[in-house]
Amino acid sequence: MIGSLLLRLRATAFKLERVAFRLERLQIRYDRGVGQGTLEDGTTTKEFFSQIEHERKDVAHKLAITRRLTRQYVKRNEGHLP
């Protein structure tokens, strides 16, 4: 049971890490003045990146927990995931 949940969690974490990486790259370009404006929903890019920055630490913390749980599970199961 835990193994199957951990696999789903890892798959989601992998996707989230990719999105987080892309957002960091976009943030760098935004900071250089590229892509400033308003999104389709009326949110400004300044507001968008401000929200991303606000959530960044929480997301990083949750990803770290996922990695730690994976390591613990692998140790417990002699180096194997389900």
| pLDDT tens, position by position, 53-65 | 999 999 999 999 9
**Domain contains 18:** yes
pTM for this prediction: 0.74
Q: Report CA dihedral (42, 45, 49, 50) to the nearest 10 degrees.
A: -70
**Domain contains 19:** yes
Distance CA 77, CA 32 (A): 47
**Domain contains 68:** yes
Domain of 40, in residue numbers: 2-76
Question: Does the pLDDT of residue 1 top 80, yes or no?
Answer: no
**Domain contains 10:** yes
**Domain contains 30:** yes
What residues have CB less than 8 Å from 13, skipping those under 6 apart?
63, 66, 67
Higher pLDDT, 72 or 81: 72
| pLDDT tens, position by position, 11-34 | 999 999 999 999 999 999 999 999
| Residue 65 to residues 41, 43, 69, Cα–Cα distance (Å) | 33, 31, 6
Total structural domains within the chain = 1
**Domain contains 72:** yes
**Domain contains 82:** no
